[in-house]
């Protein structure tokens, strides 16, 4: 059973930084694509960034390019989202997700497993 556990959310002022972590367990993730999504109140869940568990390929939503960086530590089975220059509009619950078939989808429906989410609040 795949388990994803996010941590690292919190309250930060605009312009500040946070690093989210997603600890993955339950199987080997070699062919998986790992993604970060977010959902603000009253809005749909939206794609933020993705990384293949093996290899260097990454992909970002336009609104985070140059500010957020996705990375992974294979030894720790953990995926990270480094978020810099945060804005109030980045306020949302952030979710880690895993796509077992490695499809590089931008839709939440592409992903098979989800964490419970971690709240990020950016004050102005």
| Total Cβ atoms within 10 A of residue 114 | 17
Q: Give per-residue pLDDT as tens, 83-113.
A: 999 999 999 999 999 999 988 889 999 999 9
According to the model, what pLDDT value does residue 122 have?
Answer: 98
User: At 118, which helix (H) or strand (E)?
Assistant: strand 118-123
**Residue 52 CA neighbour count, 13 Å, CB half:** 10
Distance CA 101, CA 120 (A): 29
Answer whether 77's CB lies under 8 Å from 53's CB: no
Q: What is the pLDDT of residues 46-63, one digit of tens each?
A: 999 999 988 789 999 999
């Amino acid at each position: 059973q795949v388990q994803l556990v996010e941590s690292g959310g919190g309250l930060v002022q605009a312009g500040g930084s946070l690093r989210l972590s997603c600890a993955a367990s339950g199987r080997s993730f070699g062919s998986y694509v790992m993604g970060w999504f977010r959902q603000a109140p009253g809005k749909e869940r939206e794609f933020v960034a993705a990384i293949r568990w093996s290899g260097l390929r990454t992909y970002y939503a336009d609104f985070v390019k140059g500010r957020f960086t996705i990375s992974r530590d294979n030894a720790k089975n953990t995926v990270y989202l480094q978020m810099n220059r945060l804005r109030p509009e980045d306020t949302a619950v952030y979710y880690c997700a895993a796509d077992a078939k490695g499809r590089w989808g931008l839709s939440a429906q592409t992903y098979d497993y989800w964490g419970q989410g971690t709240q990020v609040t950016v004050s102005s």
